[in-house]
C-alpha cells in the first residue's frame, strides 16, 4: 500500500512541476502498470537470486492479470489522447481505429499479448509447479516492459530505443526484485542468503539506470537551462534527485543492512522494513518517470 501511495505521490509531484493544469490521468494508470509489471518481473527472476525460494505462481498469475488490466487502461488513455477527447468519451470505433491503424495501439496489443502469456503461463504453472520453469514468464515479462520504451519519444534519437529499453528493464529489475524479496522472504536465514545476492545484482542495475538515464536526459533536453525552464526538464531533474537519494541510501544499506543481515544479526522484520523504505523511494521515482513518459 505504501509503495502504491508513493507512486501516486511521484505523479502528483510531477504534475506540480508541470505547467499543465490537469493531472495526467494516463500517468496514474501507467505508474500502476509499470509497478505491477516490475513486480511480476522480479517474482519471475527470484529463483535466480535465491534458488531455494520457490516461484509464487499463484501470486504471479494474479499480478499478471492485474497488469493486463492496467495496460488495457493505458491503451484507452493513449487512444483518447490521440483522438483528443476525455477517456470517458472515447467511442468504440475510435478505439478500434487506434488499435488497428496507429503504431501506439499496435504496440499496446503486443504488450497485452505478452502479459497474457505471462498470466496464462503462471496459472498453468500453479497447477503443475513441479514441471514449470519461470524462464518463459521472465522473457515475456521483460519483452512487455521493453516494448513501450523502445517505441517512445527517445526512439527518434540515435540509439534512443536501445537506451530507453535498457533503462526501463534495469529499473524494473532493480525495483521488482526488491519487491519480490519483500513479498517472498520470511525468515532471517532467507534474508541472510538472498539480500547479499540481491545487493550484488542491484549494483550493476543501479549503474545502468544512472548512466542510461543521464544519456537519455542529456539527449532529450539538449542543455542545462531546459532542466529548469521546461516541464520535461523539471520533472527529469526531480527524478534525478530522487535517484541520487536512492544511490546514497543504497550505499548506506551496503555498509549497514547487508552485512548485518548476512551475519544473521538482523531479524526478518527489520530487513522487511528497510526493503519497504527503499521500495517506497523507488516508487516515487517510478511515479515521476510515468509522468515524464507522457510529457511532451
How remote is the C-alpha of 138 from its chain's centroid?
A: 14
Burial class (CB in 10 A: 0-12, 13-18, 19+), 20: exposed
Percent of the chain with pLDDT over 70: 91
**What is the helix, strand, coil percentage profile of the chain, to 5?**
85, 0, 15
Q: What is the CATH code of the structural domain delimited by 2-290?
A: 1.20.1630
pLDDT confidence of residue 12? 81
pLDDT of 296 > 60? The answer is no
How many Å apart are CA 105 and CA 112, to the nearest integer? Answer: 10
Q: What confidence tens digit (pLDDT) does each residue in 158-207 have?
A: 566 788 888 889 999 999 999 999 998 888 988 999 999 999 998 899 88
Q: Where are the domains of the chain?
A: 2-290
How many Å apart are CA 1 and CA 12, to the nearest integer? Answer: 17
Which CA distances in Å does 172 have to 21, 35, 92? Answer: 30, 8, 32
Is 296 in contact with 26 (CB distance < 8 Å)? no
DSSP code string of 21-63: SS--HHHHHHHHHHHHHHHHHHHHHHHHH-TTSPP-HHHHHHH
Mean pLDDT of 146-164: 71
Q: What confidence tens digit (pLDDT) does each residue in 224-250 have?
A: 777 777 777 888 888 888 888 988 988
Strand, coil or helix: 53: coil
pLDDT confidence of residue 176? 92
pLDDT confidence of residue 112? 92
Is 62 in contact with 126 (CB distance < 8 Å)? no
Q: 292 CB contacts (<8 Å, ≥6 apart)?
A: 14, 232, 235, 236, 239
Q: What confidence tens digit (pLDDT) does each residue in 1-46 have?
A: 778 888 888 778 877 777 665 666 777 888 889 999 999 999 998 8
Amino acid at each position: 500500500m505504501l509503495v502504491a501511495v508513493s507512486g501516486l505521490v511521484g505523479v502528483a509531484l510531477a504534475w506540480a512541476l508541470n505547467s499543465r493544469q490537469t493531472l495526467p490521468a494516463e500517468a496514474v494508470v501507467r505508474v500502476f502498470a509499470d509497478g505491477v509489471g516490475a513486480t511480476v518481473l522480479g517474482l519471475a527472476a527470484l529463483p535466480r537470486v535465491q534458488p531455494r525460494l520457490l516461484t509464487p505462481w499463484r501470486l504471479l498469475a494474479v499480478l499478471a492479470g492485474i497488469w493486463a488490466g492496467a495496460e488495457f487502461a493505458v491503451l484507452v488513455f493513449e487512444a483518447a489522447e490521440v483522438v483528443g477527447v476525455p477517456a470517458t468519451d472515447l467511442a468504440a470505433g475510435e478505439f478500434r481505429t487506434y488499435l488497428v491503424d496507429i503504431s501506439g495501439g499496435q504496440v499496446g496489443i503486443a504488450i497485452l499479448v505478452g502479459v497474457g502469456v505471462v498470466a496464462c503461463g503462471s496459472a498453468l504453472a500453479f497447477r503443475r509447479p513441479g514441471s514449470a520453469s519461470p524462464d518463459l514468464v521472465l522473457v515475456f515479462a521483460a519483452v512487455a516492459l521493453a516494448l513501450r520504451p523502445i517505441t517512445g519519444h527517445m526512439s527518434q534519437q540515435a540509439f534512443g530505443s536501445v537506451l530507453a529499453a535498457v533503462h526501463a528493464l534495469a529499473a524494473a529489475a532493480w525495483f521488482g526484485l526488491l519487491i519480490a524479496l519483500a513479498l517472498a522472504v520470511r525468515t532471517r536465514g532467507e534474508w541472510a542468503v538472498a539480500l547479499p545476492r540481491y545487493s550484488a545484482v542491484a549494483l550493476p542495475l543501479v549503474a545502468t539506470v544512472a548512466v542510461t538515464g543521464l544519456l537519455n536526459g542529456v539527449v532529450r533536453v539538449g542543455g542545462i537551462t531546459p532542466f529548469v525552464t521546461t516541464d520535461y526538464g523539471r520533472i527529469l531533474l526531480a527524478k534525478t534527485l530522487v535517484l541520487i537519494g536512492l544511490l546514497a541510501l543504497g550505499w548506506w544499506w551496503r555498509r549497514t543492512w547487508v552485512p548485518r543481515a548476512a551475519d544473521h544479526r538482523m531479524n526478518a522484520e527489520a530487513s522487511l522494513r528497510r526493503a519497504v523504505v527503499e521500495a517506497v523511494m523507488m516508487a516515487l521515482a517510478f511515479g515521476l518517470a510515468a509522468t515524464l513518459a507522457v510529457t511532451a
